[in-house]
Amino acid sequence: MADVNISAETRTEFGKGAARRIRRESKVPGVVYGHGAEPAHIVLPGHQLMMALKTSNVLIGLEVDGKTELVIPKAIQRDPLKGHLVHIDLLTVKRGEKVQVEIPVQAEGDLAPGANLLEHVLSALPVVAEATSIPDFLPISIAGLEAGAAVLAKDVKLPEGVSLDIEADAVVLQVLSTKVEEAPAEGEGAES
């Protein structure tokens, strides 16, 4: 049921020098934790991991030392200039287990006619979902929304088994007007 299967090696060397050697070999250092087990330090194939991470909240079947377990990315560190993967934290999950994740939102439809601008206040919505059935994105209809309208977290239609992990009144999207109000001319509206 995993989206992607990746084989990893156990990491025995630690520190900056060891991490740099791992990255020079096009691999990524990481750690796997969860369910009360001791954290396991691993080395993952860089390109295969990068391709897997193109899908948000990807479910990975991770094989380490002949054992396969389901994991999801919990924290991803990238080089700020080059964007290369530097380190990854993976969380062990089980089928049927609920996990806290952020699911990207995707606006669908056209705004009402006029000069309006759609602002994504939240690009992803924090939710609790079953680890093996995390949606890729949450569609939000913006059809016909006018300036001043907002879509709240409680207005987003969630798939079965998914619940909000944020205040229901949190603004997800809002429609802004691009028309500028004219300031009153000097002397107008001023009382003496």
At residue 181, the pLDDT reads 61
Q: Residues 104-146: pLDDT tens digits?
A: 999 888 887 776 888 889 999 999 988 878 888 899 988 888 8
Residue 97 has pLDDT above 70, yes or no: yes
At residue 139, the pLDDT reads 92
Residue 2 has pLDDT above 50, yes or no: yes
At residue 7, the pLDDT reads 86
Q: Mean pLDDT, to the nearest integer, of 50-76? A: 85
* Six token digits for residue 149: 């309208």
Q: Mean pLDDT, to the nearest integer, of 23-35? A: 87
Average pLDDT, the chain: 84
Q: Mean pLDDT, to the nearest integer, of 143-167? A: 88
At residue 188, the pLDDT reads 59
Helices assigned H by DSSP within the chain: 16-24, 46-52
Q: Mean pLDDT, to the nearest integer, of 43-51? A: 86
Give the rounded percent of residues in the chain with a pLDDT score beyond 70: 91
At residue 115, the pLDDT reads 61
* Six token digits for residue 128: 């609790």
Whether the pTM exceeds 0.85: the reply is: no
Q: Which domains does the chain have, with CATH numbers?
A: 4-93 (2.40.240.10), 99-177 (2.170.120.20)
Residue 117 has, within 13 A of its CA and on its CB side, a CA count of: 7
Q: Mean pLDDT, to the nearest integer, of 63-92? A: 87
At residue 1, the pLDDT reads 42
CA proximity to 125, closest of 117, 137, 115 = 137
